[in-house]
A and B are shown apart, each in its own frame.
Chain A
Amino acid sequence: MENFDMSLVDWSRAQFALTAIYHWIFVPLTLGLSFIIAFMHTKYYKTKADKWKNTTKFWMKIFGINFAIGVATGIILEFEFGTNWSNYSWIVGDIFGAPLAIEGILAFFLESTFIAVMFFGWDRVSKKFHMLSSWFVAIGSNLSALWILVANAWMQNPVGMQFNPDTARNEMVDFWEILLSPTAIYKFLHTITNGYVVASLFVIGISAWFILKGRHLEFAKRSMQIAAIFGLVASLVLVYTGDGSAYCTAKDQPMKLAAMEGLYEGGNEQGLVTVALPTPCKKYGDDKNDYLFAVKIPYLLSYLATRNFDGYVPGVNNIIDGDKKHGIVSVEERMENGKIAINALKEYKTSEDKIVKDKALETFRENYKHFGYGFLPDKEAAIPNVPLTFYSFHIMVGLGFYFIMLFAVILFFSIKQTIDKKKIWLKIALWSIPLGFIASELGWVVAEVGRQPWTIQDILPTMASTSHLSVSSVQTTFWLFTVLFTVLLIAEIKIMIHQIKLGPKEERS
């Protein structure tokens, strides 16, 4: 559509992606490390042993550095909503208002209050209350993540709302439907368990470094064992929640699932791609094969997407062209219906005649589910970046299974008390720290790139969500953020490395 400046849209997207990616470096570590600290603190409470106190204090310090540097980086995303994405913010305003308000209250009362008790409370509050404070910090930070993830899930699967054409806002009609939608539940569980895996890899990696250096051996083994147990359990739950998320995606965002699998020609009895090389420059409707080579597990994609080994899974071509037999309306038809909805909305807003208005409103409501398609310039615009989504998804899944293996091996050698002799595994553990962050970021790439061209699935395309700003102002803030966040990240890494090198205070020689 000619009234959308695609350069502005691209820069606004780049800016949002940049800030979200940086923000997400800090968050998963906070989510997971808070629980690992709570476990260690509980050990100290139960055993009264100083070794557990020292262990808890050390990781608390690392948690504090990450929390202090990362805190409020997410607020920048809210600035961007108001400035760069004003159409979107206005349209979703009523849906986001309640969850984000609850997030603010929970974050403020639980995290802020109990973090102070957690850090200042040694020997100054009762041991039980102090230990419970660590748990409240963990629960509080995870609960505050719930609300922003519920809001994100609503964009992927907009339920429990109704669009009010008088105010141009989606109004909440069922809070519980939004909160308890399967998309929201699986997104929340998948995201927080991902944080637990990232934090477990981090603790194991740092502990491995201490063992390799021959320093603080008992402290490192203790930390490693707790993290390996937590990481193994979390990574298994991650598989379960990932399966739930994919099932929801198959139902509500079939195009995203097709992109995740690089599947252009769908059908029944589809196999799941384990390793593949998608055909470069493959386009909708061409006669090239989907993959140059592919190793598939027969029937598994059909089963995961439909819970039926014979189930039908549409590919990109099927979704674009439509398939009446399977109830898929073609994108061209949806674009026509979307234009009807847009024109009906315009007529409703401009007409003075009540009969015309009522008729326009009825037409608008009938076609609202196609509304967003009316903005698409052509049917190919409904396809996300398939190679990026495919590779992000498969690397993330591959790393996920690698983490399960790593946690199991580390736990096995920890229990056998031979971990300090396994230099190769210790080195692998150390170098696996960044892999956790990479897998975590790739998960968001799958979620957010895979759902393009939508900010609200089928209702509002990204191109219609932006504010009418100058491209240069968005470019300026893009580079400002690049500098600000890079400085923060360097500060975090430097301070953390310094503290890690110092080691746990009481055991310092």
Chain B
Amino acid sequence: MNLLKKIFKFYIDGFKNIDKLGIKLWIIIAIKLFIMFVILKIFFFPDFLNSKFDSDKEKGDYVIESLTKN
């Protein structure tokens, strides 16, 4: 427990004492992750097979059908 507290305090102190550059970089990381996971992933990158089928069997059958169509 003592160790966990120490680790927690280590991280908190680290973020408290972060310099201007660190803050700038964290802002860039946050904006980037928001664009990637909230905008791009949800609106532009749905998982193609998951969005069309519920079970693995349906997905497998669809892939084989698309490969052997002709």
Contact = CB atoms under 8 A, between A and B. Distances in A.
Q: Does more than half of chain A's interface fall in helix, strand or loop, or is it mixed?
A: helix
B25 to A, nearest CB: 4
Given A119-B14, A345-B67, A349-B64, A467 B32 contact: no
A400 B46 CA distance: 41
A64 B49 CA distance: 37
B69 to A, nearest CB: 5
A3 interface: yes
Interface string A58-84: 000100110011011001100110111
Nearest to A164: B60
B56 interface: yes
A480 B44 contact: yes
Contacts of A71: 29
B48 A3 contact: no
Nearest to A1: B70
A87 to B, nearest CB: 5
A509 interface: no
B70 A349 contact: no
Interface in B47-70: 47-50, 56-57, 59-61, 63-70
B14 A87 contact: no
Count chain B CB atoms within 10 A of each CB in A64, A346, A375, A469 and give the residue with the most.
A346
A120 B11 contact: yes
A291 interface: no
Contacts of B44: 83, 473, 476-477, 480
Contacts of B28: 68-69, 488, 491
A343 interface: yes
B38 interface: no
A349 B29 CA distance: 47
A116 B14 contact: yes
Contact of B46 (A83, A119, A120): A83
Nearest to A169: B60
B11 A116 contact: yes
Interface residues of B, number: 38
Given A71-B29, A76-B36, A345 B14 contact: no
A484 interface: yes
B13 A124 contact: yes
A342 B14 CA distance: 59
Interface string A145-171: 000000000000000000001111100
Contacts of A82: 45-50
A165 B65 CA distance: 12
Q: What DSSP secondary structure best describes chain B's contact surface?
A: helix
A39 to B, nearest CB: 23
B5 interface: no
B64 A168 contact: yes
A480 B40 contact: yes
B14 A80 contact: no
A468 B66 contact: yes
B25 A68 contact: yes
Interface string A286-309: 000000000000000000000000
Contact of A343 (B29, B46, B68): B68
B60 A467 contact: no
Find the residue from A61, A86, A473, A488 having the highest chain B CB count within 10 A: A86
Interface string B9-42: 0110110010001101110110011011000110
Interface of A: 1-3, 61, 64-65, 68-69, 71-72, 75-76, 79-80, 82-84, 86-87, 89-91, 116-117, 119-120, 124-125, 165-169, 342-343, 345-346, 349, 375, 464, 467-469, 473, 476-477, 480, 484, 488, 491, 495, 499
25 contacts: A2-B70, A68-B28, A71-B29, A72-B36, A76-B40, A79-B36, A79-B41, A80-B45, A82-B48, A83-B44, A83-B46, A86-B49, A87-B67, A90-B49, A90-B59, A117-B10, A120-B13, A120-B17, A342-B67, A345-B64, A345-B68, A349-B65, A469-B48, A477-B40, A495-B25
Given A82-B47, A86-B47, 6 more contacts: A76-B40, A82-B46, A82-B48, A120-B10, A468-B66, A477-B44
